[in-house]
Amino acid sequence: MQKATTVTLEAIIKEGEKDTFLQFMEKGLKLTRQFKGFHHISIHMEENSNHVLFFQKWDSKEAHQSYVRYREESGVLSELLNLFENEPVVKYYQCENV
């Protein structure tokens, strides 16, 4: 049985764009939650900072990458990236049974 993949994304939201970012995410996550292979996403903001962490669960790394390609092709990914000061850092994790 294949284990779910945990995906994290860390970035810094541009100064003054936090509310725009949160509205953008609220609207966009409706489709994300329907995408094949999706399990869960939560968005975390560091206290007194514009540092954001996305915590996600997907069937696999490939399922997440398929989703990212879809968002690239639709133009939504570039809209999101324009709200960030930096290039987001994305990491993939597998749970180990220890």
| Position with higher pLDDT, 13 vs 97 | 13
Task: Give the separation between CA 81 and CA 77, rounded to whole angstroms.
Answer: 6
Averaged pLDDT for residues 13-23: 97
Tokens in use for 57?
A: 């669960």
Fold (topology level) of 5-94:
Alpha-Beta Plaits (3.30.70)
Q: Is 94 exposed, middle or buried (0-12, 13-18, 19+ CB in 10 A)?
A: exposed
Task: Render pLDDT for 24-78 as a digit per residue (tens, 0 to 9).
Answer: 999 999 999 999 999 999 999 999 999 999 999 999 999 999 999 999 999 999 9
Q: Where are the domains of the chain?
A: 5-94
